[in-house]
């Protein structure tokens, strides 16, 4: 599961909002799919740039994650490296593209856990649920210093 970072939580929420408000969505397009839309938010590249980078190697986001090489200078690997630096793990890319991370799905009522990976509304719901999960994890890690009461003598 991703490292809960403020940047990633914000990007998930912003991507969901963008999709809700009509951002281009096309599951078969590497720059306009689930991962592609999140990548747009995290990298500030447009969907066509992301798609061009991905097409320099074969496969969908699942295969791109499998073939990722951190020392490669291929544009898609540099892009994936930015996503990883924001807190994502390679497995998150695979789960996001299929909307199938168990921890995220458990946040939905039992009858609503069967999300369709290529349906805009399901992608929006998944990203919002994932952002909520990561925010809860982030807040659990925050420890405020104990307050000391000074006694006056």
Summarize pLDDT for 8-48 with one digit per residue, the tens: 999 999 999 999 999 999 998 999 999 999 999 999 999 99
Query: Backbone phi, then psi, for 80, in 5-degree steps?
Result: -60, -40
Residue 84 makes CB contacts below 8 A (sequence gap 6+) with 90
Q: Looking at residue 152, what is its pLDDT?
A: 54
Q: What is the dihedral of CA 11, 91, 115, 133, to 10 degrees?
A: -50
What is the 3-state composition of the chain as percent helix, strand, coil, each rounded to the nearest 5? 60, 0, 40
Q: Looking at residue 151, what is its pLDDT?
A: 54
pTM over 0.85: yes
**Regions of the chain short of the pLDDT cut 50:** 153
Q: What are 48's two structure tokens?
A: 């066509």
Q: Looking at residue 58, what is its pLDDT?
A: 85
Residues in the chain: 153
């Amino acid at each position: 599961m991703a490292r809960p970072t403020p940047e990633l939580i914000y990007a998930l929420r912003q991507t969901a909002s963008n999709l809700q408000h009509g951002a281009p969505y096309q599951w078969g397009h590497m720059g306009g799919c689930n991962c592609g839309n999140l990548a747009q938010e995290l990298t500030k590249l447009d969907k066509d740039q992301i798609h061009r980078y991905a097409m320099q190697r074969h496969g969908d986001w699942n295969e791109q994650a499998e073939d990722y090489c951190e020392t490669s200078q291929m544009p898609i690997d540099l892009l994936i490296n930015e996503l990883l630096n924001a807190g994502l793990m390679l497995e998150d890319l695979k789960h996001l593209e299929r909307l199938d991370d168990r921890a995220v799905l458990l946040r939905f009522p039992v009858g609503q856990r069967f999300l369709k990976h290529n349906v805009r509304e399901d992608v929006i719901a998944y990203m919002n649920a994932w952002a909520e999960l990561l925010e809860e994890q982030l807040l659990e890690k925050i420890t405020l210093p104990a307050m000391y009461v000074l006694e006056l003598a």
